[in-house]
Each structure stands twice: as structure tokens, then as C-alpha cells.
Chains A and B, each alone.
Chain A
Amino acid sequence: MSKLLVVDDDQNLRLLYQKELEAMGHQITAAASAQEARNCFAAQKPELVVLDLKLTAEEGGLEALRWMRDFDPKIPIIINTAYPAYKADFSSWLADAYIVKSGNLEELKTTIEKLLNKN
């Protein structure tokens, strides 16, 4: 069992990911914004982050990615986004994986397992 942090501004998707990832046996903390994620990061010390890119206007996913990486260079971070285009942005390379959101969560689940096992 691992502690995962899921950051997504959509309430339904937070619910979905929490349900599905808990069914895999993980402990899930869900954050709706980069600010919430910052609080959870410090308090929960997650072992892996699933990070949406479009968050609130105050702080986007790429900015959050940067401070997460500063905080913990080794923590696995998966970008999980509706936008394919950000893969060309160098900043996204700080993440360990880039997944385009899908109703089929197999790829997300497989990637989470792979990164956790690697760690």
C-alpha cells in the first residue's frame, strides 16, 4: 500500500480516481488546487503524485510540478491531463510520465505500479 496524492480541479474526477486507486489498495489524498496540494505534500508526504495541469487560475499544474520537484527530486510524478500539447513543454519533462486523461484508467494504473515498483 502506498500513499498517493491526486491533484485535479474537477470534483467528479477526484472522486473517480480516489475510488479506483483505493481499490488498488493505495491510500489516496485528493487536492483540488496547487495550494491544497502544497498543504497535503507537507503533511502527508505522499510517495507518488498524480497531477492535473489545468488547475486554478492562481497556480497551474506546471508551476506545482516545479516546486514539487524542488521539494523532493525523487518522488514519482505522473502528469494526468486532458491536453496532449504540453508534452512539448520542457517543464513537463520534470515529470516521470505524461498521460492523456481517459475513461479507461488502465494506463494510469499500470504507470502508477511501474513507478512505485521502480522506487
Chain B
Amino acid sequence: MTKKCWEELQCLREECPVKKNREDYCWLSESRICVDGQTRDIRERLHQCCRDCPHFQKTLERSTGRRLTDQVMAETVLKLLEELGGFHAELTASNRQLSQKMRELAILNEATKALQTTLDLEQVLHIVLTGVTAAQALSLNRAFLLLVDGDRRSLTGKMAVGPGGAEEAFNIWNDLQKSPRSFLEMALTPYRQVQGNVLVTQLVKKLSVPLSDQQNILVQTMNAKKPLLVHDASITPGAAELAGLLKVNSFILAPLVAEQETLGIILADNAVTRMPIRSDDVTLLEIFAGQVSAFIRNARLYQSLKDKVKELQHSQEKLLKAERMAAVGEMAAVLAHEIRTPMVSIGGFVNSMIRERPDDPKFGQQLRIISSEIDRLEGVLTDTLELSRFREPELVSESINDIAGRCLGVLRSEFDRQNITVEADLAEGLAPVWIDRHQFPQVLLNILKNALHAMPLGGHLSVRTWLDARQDLVISISDTGPGIKHQDLEHVFEPKFTTKRYGLGIGLAVSKKIVESHRGSITVSSAEGRGTMFEIRLPSGGQAPA
């Protein structure tokens, strides 16, 4: 007699429900678990046991023409189909997941390809962040990227990608529906041409953490060199402040590590959809961050190299310019001597003749003309020499009131000697300005000396400083001398304009050049018989000009 399964299996447990019914077939039993605890899923049973079970085989062999056996066969097949159906569903789900993973890997591959096309740091960061947020990729709503600064003292927000809110997100997704773009197209769009990202950019620029702050969750995650998923910021130590700034309760942090060096961190969230971040997202972001870190490091190195090359080029240009200027200066000095010496002879002897015969009716006027023209030539020569020796200003931060005060102090005795009253109205609390401490005072001294010469018999000198409506710093110097003729006014700053200079002053042409090299401007206004006013405008405060 053919044995039943349990006999084949030598499972003789009295409690076995199938055993009691000798007409039942164990592989069809609803009970999937034997009383001895073994799981006997029909697939497993059919796979492992029933195929080799002579009882199962004989039952199937007797199937043709036997109603009972047909029924068993039908029930067996139905059972198999049910199981297969379930198996198929599981397989389909697995296939779907696999397809998703394949797609994500494809995007990682595309991201890598995109990253290989550029060494520009800004573009590299944009590709990375697009990889985190693109719907075809990690599909997180927003991504922020922070990098460790060059001096390795702080972690600073550099770039962010993502919608500012639900409305912006809707518009973006709507646009993408209408005009689908591939991941590569989005990633390779130059960052500055990308619309949106305004709000997230403002947020990321606020993020700056000293690396010494070991309590900070960003620093801790970086030091751990492992990603961190914050499910609930309200109960995660150190996360509340960041969550408050980003206005989310859940976010993910993935450090960027290349060759054991931590470069920065990616922060991502689903601020718009509020969908929970899955563990799959964490894994994928970790893989992604690992892959892109090397590209970010290379881009930074490239940037650093470019900066150094630019610095070297700048130094080289300065050196060449200095050499050129030295050569010009030498030539100018030689020319100055060769031209000035004969001019001094000519002018000197003419003045001597004028001195001896001041009222000579025949030659008096002509001699005076010659003397005046020699004066003019000397002015041109001096100004030209000064201009040829002009060097770029070396800027330091100074108080303009202090400089004005010192210049007035230098000429105080001269003002007193000539009975000139001096009024200084210097605004208080003015921010320092960036000026060359040797060149700029020369400008003020030049204008003050011009005022001195304009008032040989006394007068009034007024010096004022103030901030104008555009927040430019203004210095004005005005006198009550005879003023400048209207037709001469527009030529005042030209090198050939005559100015009587005693001692080593600089001309107005050089003064203008110095002011303009300080990114400022100088103007003059005058009324014949009433006096002259010079106004100098300088940009105030702020960072030193590049």
C-alpha cells in the first residue's frame, strides 16, 4: 500500500490533522505548519518533498481517467496557481524596485558623466544638488550644500536647489510636465541661468558653523563621516535650531568625504511634499555623496590653482609695470634735466632783464610774455614728470578728518602769516575711507597751497567734510581769492594749465589722477572775484577695493 506523506516523512505525530483523514493529501492541506513546527508552504513542499515523494508521483500518475484523481489534480493545480499568483505579485514588486534602482543607478551614472565635463566649482555643486532633487533621481524636495572653508575653521553654506514653497514647486513640476527635460539637461544648465532657488539660496547663505562647535549636528555628522536621518528634530539633540531655520521637522545629512578628508555636507529635506524620507533615500544619498565628493574636491583644487595663477599673473603684471615705470622714470628724469636747465637759463635771464628795466617801453611787454611762457612750460614739465612717476595707490583705512586736520596743521603758520582765517567743519562719526596715506594728503596740500597763493593779502578758507545722499564722502576746500576765469575753468586739471607752485607741490593734473585712482572724483567751481571751491568725492567705508 502506498505510503502517505507523513509515513514517507516518518512524521508520526498523532496530532497531525492530515493523518486522521487518510483521504486528505498533505500538500493540499490548509495547514501550512506541521504540528511539529515545520513550515510546509506548498511551493516549498512541492519543491523539496513532494516531487521526490513516491506517493505524490503515484497520485499524479493515476490522474488520467480517474475522477477522484482529477479532482485532486485540479485542486493541486489551483493551489499551485494561487501560490504562483502570490509569487508573481512578489516578483513583480521586486522587478519594480529593481527597475527603480536601475534608474537611480543610471542617474548616478549620468551625474558622474555630467561631473566629468567640468571643473568649475559652481557648476559641480549645481550638478550635485540637481542629482539630489531631480525627480528622475533622488527626488528629494530641497538640497543644501555646505563646504568647509579653505582655512578649515568653519562650515559655510554655498549653494541650494529647490522650490521656495508649494506654489513654486507646483509651477516647476507643471513646467516639467509640459516641457520634460532630462536630468543631464537640468544638471548642465549653468547655475546662474537657473530660475528660482531664491529662497533656498537665502537660507543656505545663513548657514555658517565653526568647526570647533562640536555640539552642532552638522559638525557631529561630518566628524562621524556617516549620514544621519533626523526623523523628528524636536527630539533629536542639536537638530532643533537647524530645523527651525529650514522650517522642517525631518531632514537628512550626508557628509562629503574624499580620501578621508571631510569636504562638507549635503542637507536634504521634503519641505514641500512633507513625505517621509525613507531608509532607501539615506542609502542612495550616502552612495551619491560618496561618488561626488572626489569631484567636489577636484573642483576646489582647480579653483585654488586658478586663484594662484591669477595672483601670479597679477604680480607679474605689477612687476613688469614697475620695470616699465622705472625705465620711463629714468628717461623722464634725464629729459627733465636736459629741458629744465636751459629753460631756467632763459627764464632766469629774462626775469633779470625785467628786474633791471621794469618799465622798459620797447621790450618790457615782450620780456614779460617770454617770462610767462617759460613759467607755463615749467608747469607742464613738472606735471608731466609727476604723471610719469605716478604709481598705483596702496590703500589703507584712514579717517579723512584726521588727514584734513594734519594738512591744515602743516600750513597753519602760512595761513597765519597771510592773515587767512581758517574754518574747519568736519562731520563727526564718518566711516574711515581707503586711501594711500602718502598720495592723498598731497592732493589736499596742493589745493590748500593753491588757496594760499590765491589769497596773498588775506581771506577766508573753509574746509568741510560730510556724507552726501549717495553715502559718498565729500571734502570741500573753498577760498575767497580772485577765482578762476570762466574760460580757464575747464582746463584746470590739464597738465599744461599754469599754476604757481612754490616748493615741491604737485599739480592739479596729478591731483585728479590720484583722486581717480582712489575711485573718487574731483570738481572745481569758481566765480571771478568771489573765490574757488574744490570738491573731492570718495566712496566711503566698506571693503578695500579690489
Interface residues of A, Cβ cutoff 8 Å to B: 10, 12-13, 16-17, 19-20, 23, 54, 82-85, 87, 98-105, 107
Q: Is the CB of A20 within 8 A of B348?
A: yes
Q: Is the CB of A13 within 8 A of B345?
A: yes
* Cα of A116 to Cα of B341 in the assembled complex, Å: 26
User: Can you sample 28 A-B contacts with CB below 8 Å?
Assistant: A12-B342, A16-B345, A16-B349, A20-B348, A23-B352, A23-B355, A82-B336, A82-B341, A82-B344, A83-B333, A84-B386, A85-B389, A87-B504, A98-B503, A100-B382, A100-B503, A100-B504, A102-B344, A103-B345, A103-B346, A103-B350, A103-B351, A103-B378, A104-B347, A104-B351, A104-B371, A104-B378, A105-B348
Residue of B nearest to A12 (CB): B345
The interface residues of chain A lying within 8 Å CB-to-CB of B374 are 103
The interface residues of chain A lying within 8 Å CB-to-CB of B348 are 13, 16-17, 20, 103, 105
The interface residues of chain B lying within 8 Å CB-to-CB of A10 are 341, 345
> How far, in Å, is B219 (CB) from chain A's closest CB?
53
Q: Is the CB of A103 within 8 A of B343?
A: yes
In this complex, the interface size class of chain B, counting residues with CB under 8 Å from chain A, is: 20 to 34
Q: Is the CB of A19 within 8 A of B385?
A: no
Q: Interface residues of B: mostly helix, strand, loop or mixed? A: helix
Q: Determine if B375 is an interface residue (Cβ-Cβ < 8 Å).
A: yes
The interface residues of chain A lying within 8 Å CB-to-CB of B375 are 103-104
Q: Mark B389-409, 1 if CB is under 8 A from A, else 0.
A: 100000000000000000000
The interface residues of chain B lying within 8 Å CB-to-CB of A16 are 344-345, 348-349, 352
Q: Determine if B340 is an interface residue (Cβ-Cβ < 8 Å).
A: yes
> How far, in Å, is A55 (CB) from chain B's closest CB?
12
- Contact partner of B340 (CB less than 8 A), chosen from A12, A82, A105, is A82
Give residues 303-360 of B contacting A (CB, 8 Å). Answer: 329, 333, 336-337, 340-352, 355
* Cα of A17 to Cα of B345 in the assembled complex, Å: 9
> How far, in Å, is A22 (CB) from chain B's closest CB?
11
Q: Is the CB of A102 within 8 A of B352?
A: no
Q: Is the CB of A101 within 8 A of B341?
A: yes
Q: Is the CB of A13 within 8 A of B344?
A: yes
* Cα of A109 to Cα of B349 in the assembled complex, Å: 15
The interface residues of chain B lying within 8 Å CB-to-CB of A83 are 333, 336-337
The interface residues of chain B lying within 8 Å CB-to-CB of A13 are 341, 344-345, 348
* Cα of A84 to Cα of B378 in the assembled complex, Å: 12
The interface residues of chain B lying within 8 Å CB-to-CB of A101 are 340-341, 344
> How far, in Å, is B130 (CB) from chain A's closest CB?
59
Q: Is the CB of B347 within 8 A of A102?
A: yes
The interface residues of chain A lying within 8 Å CB-to-CB of B503 are 98-100, 107
**Given A12-B342, A82-B341, 8 extra CB contacts under 8 A:** A13-B344, A13-B345, A82-B336, A83-B333, A84-B386, A85-B389, A101-B344, A104-B347
Residue of A nearest to B343 (CB): A103
Residue of A nearest to B385 (CB): A84
- Contact partner of A54 (CB less than 8 A), chosen from B337, B343, B346, B502, is B337
* Cα of A92 to Cα of B39 in the assembled complex, Å: 110
The interface residues of chain A lying within 8 Å CB-to-CB of B386 are 84
Q: Is the CB of A20 within 8 A of B341?
A: no
